[in-house]
Amino acid sequence: MAATRPESAPVMDVTQTPSPLFGPLVSPRFIDDETDDELLPDPSPRMAADRSESEAPLLPVLSAPTRTYLCPGEKHPIPRSVHLARLAAFYPNCRLCEHRADTGHLPRSMIGRLEQTAQRGEQVSPFQRDGIRGAYLNQLTRKLAGRIAAAFAEHLWSIRPLQGRPQATEDNDDVPVTTRRLTGPTVVIGQDARPSSPDLSVGISESLRRMGCDVVDVGRVSRPCFAFAVDHLQAQGGLFITGSGSAESWTGIDVVGPGGIPWSIPGTLSDIERRYHREISRPTRQGGAQRYFDATVPYRASLLKHYQTVRPQKLACFCEDATIVETLKSLLEPHPAEVHWLDDAKLSPGGRLLALKTISVDLGVLLNEEGTAIRLFDRDGRPVSEQLLLGRVLKAAVSSKDPFVPEQHDQESESIALRMQDQTSTIGVQSGGRLWFRDAFPRCDALITIGHLLQSHPSDA
């Protein structure tokens, strides 16, 4: 049985014994409502005044506007505390952040280091005149390659004509309303022999299929074979993974449009760069398919007409790409031309001179890494000028009455290819030993150039 308090027991007034830190231990407001009002002490005038002030309405407080911090490459904003923490931890994306000047109360020594890292973070755009190039993993990764592929797919979807579906009419109500699946653009992907190419190929194919494109993978091929595959398969475009023209640690992507026409800046590639730097929208929820295609067989068949009448000559070929060597061997096998293969294409000029004099050949040919350009050497190992190279090719060409030679030899590839296509020109000339030939589509192929050279006599110029 609970003990009861006697009526005569004194009541302890805890409100009169305040704590030195927290004030009264129990406030009169927390006493039970059923307690007799006589037990409550009368408030003093000072307490009444404090109570009236506390019950007065409060004025609204205007807070400072919250600043939004968004790291480069991220979609969701972060608070300022996370922003300062990332600055203190030297987060890699802080090098390119527009808010990196907001350092708060960080130490001056740390701010000095942040300024140094920001200077190192200022990078040049990977988009160049005839493609995308960058150092592998430092400037161009699988993720960035996938974003470039997404921008490319978005462009293809934007120029793709709308496709409707049949509807039932009043005259024929029995016709069912069928839903036709809108197939995405067909995109061809290929790669060169660099070790970094397979990694970028995975990111590109995943991004294209996510954007609803049907991917056709032709594997490791030369650049001319890839362009032929885009035209042969009637694809809407293609992405070729290559670092040609750059250091061995670099990689890149060449963009090709319908008909194997390369895209450049200024040109169609400028639109891909613009889409790359903004938000990319997914055009459909349906993923694309992927298949593999061996493009080497039809590609070699398309070159046979350029090797019909090969004169007996002794040729030295400097080439390090195995796919180009195999293709050229198959083309020259039924002909009397004698070919000496030198796989070290990076020999010094003195090394090439010694090799050509040792073999004693009629002609020396050096192919570039992607198989589009050649350099010609005479039997003494001296380099032949581009004018003499063009003269020999024109004499061997069947229809060379109206060759197209651009006034500016450093024009981008897209401009030359489109002008050849519109003007029905026979041969186009680009700097660096690149010759364009009008075929089913404008083709820049070193093997076609060699085919014309072998049809001419070594003394022709």
307 falls within a domain: yes
In this structure, is the dihedral angle defined by the CA atoms of residues 106, 109, 115 and 117, taken in order, positive or negative? negative
Q: Distance of CA 343 to CAs 273, 325, 353, 374, Å?
A: 37, 9, 15, 15
Q: Which of 269, 265, 263, 274 is nearest to 418 (CA)?
A: 263
Residues 135, 281 within the same domain: yes
Residues 284, 390 within the same domain: no
Residues 282, 419 within the same domain: no
Which residue among 238, 268, 294 closes a domain? 294
Residues 303, 419 within the same domain: yes
Residues 377, 275 within the same domain: no
The pLDDT value given to residue 365 = 87
254 falls within a domain: yes
Q: How far apart are CA 437 and CA 421, in angstroms?
A: 10
Residues 406, 433 within the same domain: yes
Residues 304, 420 within the same domain: yes
- Per the structure block, which two tokens stand in for 383? 């380099």
The pLDDT value given to residue 19 = 44
The pLDDT value given to residue 134 = 92
The pLDDT value given to residue 396 = 62
380 falls within a domain: yes
Distance of CA 393 to the CA centre of its chain: 37
The pLDDT value given to residue 257 = 94
Which residue among 121, 142, 172 closes a domain? 121
317 falls within a domain: yes
Run means of pLDDT, 10 residues per run, the chain, 461 residues: 51 48 44 47 54 55 63 79 84 74 82 69 75 91 94 92 53 49 85 93 96 96 95 96 90 94 92 92 91 95 89 84 89 86 65 71 84 84 78 64 48 83 76 84 90 69 45
Q: How far apart are CA 65 and CA 252, in angstroms?
A: 43
Please report the DSSP string for 74-117 in residue order: -SS-B-HHHHHHHHHTT-GGGGG-TTTT--TT--HHHHHHHHHH
410 falls within a domain: yes
Q: How far apart are CA 8 and CA 353, in angstroms?
A: 125
Residues 414, 278 within the same domain: no
75 falls within a domain: no
Residues 218, 349 within the same domain: no
Enclosing domain of residue 96: 80-121
Residues 437, 328 within the same domain: yes
8 falls within a domain: no
Q: Which of 137, 135, 164, 132 is nearest to 151 (CA)?
A: 132
Residues 348, 247 within the same domain: no
Residues 91, 143 within the same domain: no
Task: Give how many domains the chain has, as a whole number.
Answer: 3
Which residue among 254, 272, 294 closes a domain? 294
